[in-house]
Amino acid sequence: MDLSITVNGIKFPNPFVLGSGPPGTNARVLAKSFDAGWGGAVAKTVSLESAKVVNVVPRYGKLRSRSTGEVIGFENIELISDRPIEVWLEEFREIKKEYPNNVLIASIMEEYEKSRWQELTKMVQDTGVDAFELNFSCPHGMTERKMGSEMGEHPDLTEEVTSWVTEVSKIPVWAKMTPNITNIREPAVAAVRGGAVGISAINTILSVIGVDLETLRPMPTVEGHAVPGGYSCQAVRPIALRMVSQLALGLPEEISISGIGGIENSHDALQFFLLGASTVQICTGVMLQGVKMVDELNAGVTKFMTDKGFESVEEMVGKSLPYFSTHMDLVQKMKAAKRSKAGEASRDNEWAQKDITEKTAELTSN
Ligand SMILES: Cc1cc2nc3c(=O)[nH]c(=O)nc-3n(C[C@H](O)[C@H](O)[C@H](O)COP(=O)(O)O)c2cc1C
């Protein structure tokens, strides 16, 4: 089965894309994932000055199922890439040379300064990457420098910064949304006004994974202290699905959506396609299962499409959206269904109570 899909003019060999984060840490891991069969990858977010990015250890925390111990939620306080931009530029070039048919998306983030965003955009696009994803959504750490979700939480900033990038970019620009807002459509529409042709959603949800009852310290604990971090993994999937559906219903049709949040297998990915995503991104799932998980994604999506008679991924995109309605409409539909059932029941009663010859006469016109 051909799972390729063309999005914003870019042909993805399949719609499975590594989400920005540890799975896209450097060229070597990206190459490994393309060898494993991933259609595309969003590299770890880069900025102009990596020296300003200092990560802490530990920076992850897990929420486990009470009964099985399975990881169901994941918190991180990881920052964007701490590798120098010069190294990244070289690696972007290398990857595109070695894997011309795989889609490489550069995730970029900068301070609130037009010249910095435009400088970064120009130097990264010169490497031959296929598209940009603007990180307006990292909810921790970078926000102290007014970056990431500090921008994505303010639609006016989202629009302005997107327009700085699209002014100089020659490749498609996606904007990655933070879920830490009331109405995700507002920053998304603002990004589209700024020239974005795709929306990625969602980044992580601001969270505190727990408190150590021995030490009384919130986790993950670094030298006795903590900050809230970003929540991901399967627990966030229903929120991501809701937000993706709201975007699909609220954005112009030509705007593509890349669905992200808690995807761990083909079953999860399919739900994002059906709600309007044309590609899906996976980050925590890859961190927990490894890049080989793409085999099941390919096999599961292929089987579903064969069973349901879909001939392309594109055909599935948004197929479940027409079934959203208003609550008032659900009530009316339920009442109508009850009335029709009652009608059927009374008809059945009539047949049971009357003699068949009497009923035949009643239904005869002559
Ligand atoms: C450890 C970690 C690091 C991340 N780093 C980035 C990043 O640098 N840039 C970015 O846009 N998103 C980053 N994310 C967010 C993911 O790309 C993704 O939006 C989020 O985790 C939800 O998807 P998931 O449940 O598949 O992980 C990171 C997530 C994790 C868990």
Nearest CA to 133 out of 268, 250, 24 is that of 24
Q: Of the listed 29, 43, 134, 138, which one is catalytic? A: 138
pLDDT score, position 174: 98
Distance CA 55, CA 319 (A): 42
pLDDT score, position 141: 80
Per the annotation, the verdict on 233 as an active-site residue is: no
pLDDT score, position 333: 97
What value does the mean pLDDT of the chain take? 96
How far, rounded to the nearest angstrom, does the alpha carbon of residue 51 sit from its chain's CA centroid? 29
pLDDT score, position 131: 98
| Length of the chain, in residues | 366
pLDDT score, position 63: 98
Instruction: Using the Cα atoms of residue 96, residue 98, residue 99 and residue 105 in order, give the sign of their dihedral.
Output: negative
The runs of H, that is alpha helices, within the chain are 27-36, 85-98, 114-125, 149-152, 155-168, 185-193, 237-250, 266-274, 284-289, 293-308, 313-316, 327-353, 356-362
- Reported as a single tens digit per residue, the pLDDT across 326-340 is 999 999 999 999 999
5: helix, strand or coil? strand
Distance 261 CA to ligand 1 centre (A): 9
**Mean pLDDT along residues 259-268:** 98
> Which atom number of ligand 1 is nearest to the Cα of residue 263?
26
Nearest CA to ligand 1 atom 22: 261
pLDDT over threshold 90, residue 107: yes
Distance 242 CA to ligand 1 centre (A): 18
Say yes or no: CB of residue 284 within 6 Å of ligand 1: yes
Distance 293 CA to ligand 1 centre (A): 17
Say yes or no: CB of residue 77 within 6 Å of ligand 1: no
Nearest CA to ligand 1 atom 28: 21
Distance CA 322, CA 314 (A): 16
Distance 21 CA to ligand 1 centre (A): 5
- Reported as a single tens digit per residue, the pLDDT across 118-160 is 999 999 999 999 999 999 988 888 888 888 888 999 999 999 9
Nearest CA to ligand 1 atom 19: 203
pLDDT score, position 317: 98
Nearest CA to ligand 1 atom 21: 232
**Mean pLDDT along residues 32-47:** 98
Nearest CA to ligand 1 atom 6: 21
Say yes or no: CB of residue 241 within 6 Å of ligand 1: no
Both structure tokens of 219: 């986790």
Predicted TM-score (pTM) of this structure = 0.94
Q: Do 29 and 23 form a contact (C-beta atoms < 8 A)?
A: yes
> Which atom number of ligand 1 is nearest to the Cα of residue 135?
11
Distance CA 133, CA 136 (A): 9
Pocket test for ligand 1, best of 257, 283, 288, 294 (most atoms within 8 A of CB): 283
Distance 211 CA to ligand 1 centre (A): 23
CB neighbours of residue 285 within 10 Å: 24
Residue with tokens 């027409």: 322
Give residues with Cβ within 8 angstroms of 33, minimum separation 6.
18, 23, 24, 41, 286, 291, 294
